[in-house]
Amino acid sequence: MRFAAFEYRHRPRVAVVEDDGTLFPLPGVTSLTDLIRETGGLAGLLAAGAAAQDVPPGPHVSQVRLLPPLRPSSVRDFVTFEEHVEGVRRSVSGEAGVPEQWYEAPTFYFTNPHAVFGPQDDVPMPPGSSVLDFELEVAAVIG
């Protein structure tokens, strides 16, 4: 079962998404993050999703603005790519290699949870910037 957070007619909604892109909105639900919290996890989420499929379908995914699926209160960005660690170290201190401590404990930093965008949203360029660094990010939701 797939879920989507979306905006339709200027209102945020959550729906179950069928393979053909048909959306089955969950009545009264405006946040997938809140729905997960309120239903107590996966079992409750799946039950809410199953109930949504018993009501008439809503708009097609092509007719809505997709929102970020979740609005996390915290985002931790882990540094997991060895060559990246080595490159950053070289650019900052001029030293080569990866510090031994990196192999013993995951390195992460807290990043801005308000900088999560939907799939078709424009990402604003920070003031004073002339170039952006594009990266592929993979997320894991825990909890």
Strands lying side by side in the sheet with 2-8: 23-25, 11-17, 2-8, 65-66
Residues with Cβ within 8 Å of residue 30, at least 6 apart in sequence: 11, 12, 13, 14
In tens, the pLDDT along 54-95 reads 888 999 999 999 999 888 888 888 888 888 889 888 999 999
Residue 142: pLDDT band (50, 70, 90) is: low
In tens, the pLDDT along 44-58 reads 888 988 888 888 899
